[in-house]
Amino acid sequence: MPKVVSININENGGVPKYPIENAFIGKYNVKGDKQNDTKHHGGIDRAVCLFSMDVISALKKEGHPIFPGSTGENITIEGVDWKSLKIGDKLMFGDVEIQLTGPTAPCKTIAKSFVSGQFVRISQKKNPGWSRWYARVLKEGFVNCFDKVHILSS
């Protein structure tokens, strides 16, 4: 069963984001998380950033020094067929329901998570199925580590 394995925030903004046990997910952001660049992060269609622990593990096997939160994701989940996700898919975990709005574009701020700074390794354009995802919040609420993740119809 897919589950939340890490909830990550940075009260000062930027990356890495650090693990916490639970969080309130609001319409515009994860409570306690700050974005330094609100042009590209946060807001109604980018309220939450998600990434896959399965993808992180595969990247670690390639030698990248990546870890949950190091690329700026708020929610790290495990056990979802990451490559099958698409815009419009809905997920539910804890009290929260979200809808995927698009893959994130990687930038130089996450370079430390990759060998030789090769952050484009998680570019959807260059490596489909390896990107983080942005989502809008359809139902606000609390999420806890190890909550089950349910994939709802898109």
Closest CA to 40 of 66, 7, 14, 19: 14
The stretch 90-94 carries a mean pLDDT of: 97
Phi then psi for 146, rounded to 5 degrees?
A: 75, 5
The stretch 69-86 carries a mean pLDDT of: 97
Count of domains forming the chain: 1
For residue 151 the two structure tokens come to 């994939």
- Higher pLDDT, residue 44 or 154: 44
Q: How many CB atoms lie within 10 A of CB 12?
A: 8
What global pTM score does this model have?
Answer: 0.95
Which stretch of DSSP H or E encloses residue 7?
strand 3-9
How far, in Å, CA of 42 to CA of 39, rounded?
Answer: 8
Q: Which pLDDT score is estimated for 42?
A: 73
Q: Which CATH number characterizes residue 121's domain? A: 2.40.33.20
Domain boundaries, position 7: 3-152
pLDDT at 39 over 90: no
